[in-house]
A and B are shown apart, each in its own frame.
Chain A
């Protein structure tokens, strides 16, 4: 166990590849501070990502890191947590990675309540490929691949997570670092699937959708009397057209996938009284005799 309590001890020393002014620096900083506050041993931390600007984050953090393929961070994280439940598993990715190419995984990770924390960096643009629209682009319709405007509506990441049944849903903003750090800590302390949408501006390719001044003007904190078990109210807050609500929208603890696996094993062993590996193997052969 190597307990750290200084944020810089969670940085790998590899310098981020992000552009100057990128909102992701704030997220990295909030994340390192959250790890430090939680005094997480770096060896017990696994960071999994897909592809995109945000998915480069694991390189910059001292932990076990897995930079994988586009859209697939979540199922990989599910595998990691399944094989070693002792690990604290954090998945990171962007709006394109998580909602376009990888959009099919989110409902299932959420409904299975896999005990991981998923940070979805939402900058409403494909930054790594230099400026094509993403599923969350709305106010910046003319991009390199939409020269005549967008063909579809945008999706709302937090609202999706709520209807998919995520047991913890929160929305943060890269500029509000202390608040974001607090959300990450709450998400990591939540047992089950924690979904955190993090608004962040892309300084190079879309400064409109996540315009800092506009978000600051329109944001409001989730009311203190909001009941996070009330998913309908959470959905209303997440889809508010007037205000951008930041804070914990849903917190609804329920058994995790790991709990279900244990239950499954208990039921199976009850059918096969000898639970010792060798005895059980012979037990398996007996049915073919």
Chain B
């Protein structure tokens, strides 16, 4: 019995590779298994190599697995490309036509003429993926009835002929395996714990979290890999009385958000790096005019058009600093699909409570990742709201009152007696433009007081994940989707006898100083793994805490692998044996 199984299905885009993976996920989620997936997208609109990797486990997992136990290849090209990632004792299931390289001698390989079964026996080439599913269900002892049920759900609306075709394909794939393939490997579909899990992508969890938090106005412009958020909301938000509008560009999207939000509606947009670049002027406006907004950036390889379908964590600087002048904003970074729900929902509370823009950073790998979510984790209602003024007839309303917390009570347009100006110009308490030095200083300080208040707000507590040994001298600080590989690396290092501890802050502006300072006080070295070239988080940590960091960066368009992090841990452990160093906390 293998409590943990990593499969990869590889082929050409259009062969139904993703459907195979998603079907396995659906079945596993209903069985109560934990799932994390990773998929690659070709840059081509049609065709091109693609794959989906599915890791199934009885236990909670946070990473899709580095090398795979079970590899399915639908063509020669997929075999060549993916074979290096097959574990030494891993199993290959491939198209019978494929030539097997010598290195596979002595290993378990199942060859099945998927193409022939689909084209000759069934008469439909596109049903090949379902044949594969049938074969897999036999080899891995999948619950076949459930697969049939799932296929029926998926194809019933396409008519009886299509459905029968697919059920036939499933049966033929199964039968071929039963007749011709003796079980030669130890792998089996793990057993779930009966508690049904929800299955969704990071993008869907973001959309759902926003919806649960009361967001009803979405404006956006299509961009890979964020479009799915808008597409999902376009179908579902109107059911709740909300709206989704595709605007002419990202500037229009964020400006429409600004308008809708000023008028009182919880509003958002989602985009990727190029869109966030275009939005940066309006982020300054939101900061200056003190208007709530939530902006999701699903990062991809940059700069410019870069690698639109590949992952990267290289927009941190843009999220932290993009826009001119001293701008206030909150930057958050969820680490997993359930986290996407939680952090996005919280982003709205912070935006409303502190009347400023909140940027949520995810990346292509997390956006597209299918992962299981416990149903209890997607229940939420708004827990903070915008402070509104008690209007008095005898005193004029001051929209930008210089309050102690920095938060000034608002009056929503429409309110009797609350007429006021909001403006991108520096202004006095009433909102009239005022360019004198005292006012600019007083208002800037007031706006930044909100960031201090956020740091102390219980809403932002418990926004750090911790892994590993609390006494360890080697520390890791990382962010976003790199948390999964870090968690995995920490446990591999532990098995190697190297204690490591890690902290993953999910809020990057303002930084959780208390937690980070406490962490830095305990460790002697800090490794900062992240998916960009210059080490953007490492740079932020160095400038904020005046500490040396060991940057581990990668710009290959794919997530970090735990072994890459382990290598750095081992190197660091070696230097620690040579010379000792003062604790950061004391040195600072």
Contact = CB atoms under 8 A, between A and B. Distances in A.
Interface string A183-200: 000000000000000000
B421 A67 contact: yes
Nearest to B214: A277
B414 A108 contact: no
A65 B200 contact: no
Interface residues of B, number: 65
Contact of B375 (A77, A84, A285): A285
B259 A78 contact: yes
A288 B413 contact: no
A87 B281 CA distance: 26
B263 A80 contact: yes
B432 interface: yes
A76 B378 CA distance: 32
Contacts of A66: 259, 262, 289, 421-423
A104 interface: yes
Interface stretch (B5-13, B235-243, B441-449): B235-243
B416 A2 contact: yes
B258 A76 contact: yes
B539 interface: no
B501 interface: no
Given A87-B263, A288-B373, A269 B258 contact: no
B551 interface: no
Contacts of A213: none
A83 B196 contact: no
Contacts of A217: none
Given A75-B256, A80-B413, A82-B259, A43 B418 contact: yes
A233 interface: no
Interface stretch (B204-212, B304-312, B482-490, B521-529): B204-212
Interface in A253-276: 257, 261, 264-265, 267-269, 271-272, 275
B260 A43 contact: no
Interface string B410-426: 00111111111111110
B400 interface: no
Nearest to A274: B239
Given A84-B264, A265-B243, A64 B282 contact: no
Contacts of A269: 238-239
A79 B267 contact: yes
Nearest to A77: B259
Given A79-B219, A79-B267, A288-B373, A64 B239 contact: no
B257 interface: yes
Nearest to B249: A104
Contact of A268 (B198, B239, B421): B239
Given A68-B258, A288-B200, A281 B421 contact: no
Interface stretch (A55-63, A138-146, A235-243): A55-63
Given A65-B420, A72-B282, A281-B211, A107 B255 contact: no
B248 interface: yes
B394 to A, nearest CB: 16
B251 interface: yes
A84 B249 CA distance: 22
Most buried by A among B204, B240, B375: B240
Interface residues of A, number: 54
A8 interface: no
Nearest to B216: A83
A54 interface: no
Contacts of B219: 79
A82 B419 CA distance: 19
Given A264-B238, A284-B236, A48 B259 contact: yes
Contact of A63 (B198, B260, B417, B419): B419
A84 B414 contact: yes
B259 A59 contact: no
B255 A261 contact: no
A272 B240 CA distance: 10
B204 A288 contact: yes
Interface residue SS majority, chain A: helix
Contacts of A65: 419-423, 431
Nearest to B199: A288
Contact of A86 (B281, B414, B416, B421): B414
Contacts of B414: 43-44, 64, 84, 86-87
B211 A58 contact: no
Contacts of A177: none
Interface in B204-232: 204, 208, 211-212, 217, 219
Contacts of B252: 72, 75, 78, 104-105, 108
B155 interface: no
B275 to A, nearest CB: 14
A283 B238 CA distance: 13
B198 A272 contact: no
B238 A67 contact: no
B238 A69 contact: no
Contacts of B421: 58-59, 65-67
Contact of A42 (B242, B243, B281, B419): B419
A19 interface: no
Interface in B362-421: 373, 375, 378, 412-421
A80 B240 contact: no
Contacts of B243: 82, 261, 264-265
B433 interface: yes
Contacts of B239: 265, 268-269, 271-272, 275, 280, 283-284
A280 B378 contact: no
Nearest to A266: B238
Contact of A84 (B211, B413, B422): B413
A28 interface: no
Contact of B217 (A59, A79, A265, A268): A79
Contacts of A281: 211-212, 240
A84 B425 contact: no
Contacts of B412: 84
Interface string B511-534: 000000000000000000000000
B83 interface: no
Contacts of A48: 259
B557 interface: no
B422 A69 contact: no
Contacts of A261: 238, 243
23 contacts: A41-B416, A43-B415, A43-B418, A58-B421, A64-B420, A66-B289, A66-B421, A68-B285, A69-B285, A72-B252, A75-B247, A81-B259, A82-B259, A83-B265, A84-B413, A84-B414, A107-B248, A264-B238, A268-B236, A268-B238, A284-B239, A285-B375, A289-B29
Interface of B: 29-30, 196, 198-200, 204, 208, 211-212, 217, 219, 235-243, 245, 247-249, 251-253, 255-265, 267, 281-282, 284-285, 289, 373, 375, 378, 412-425, 431-433
Interface of A: 1-2, 14, 41-44, 46, 48, 58-59, 62-69, 72, 75-84, 86-87, 104-105, 107-108, 257, 261, 264-265, 267-269, 271-272, 275, 277, 280-281, 283-285, 288-289
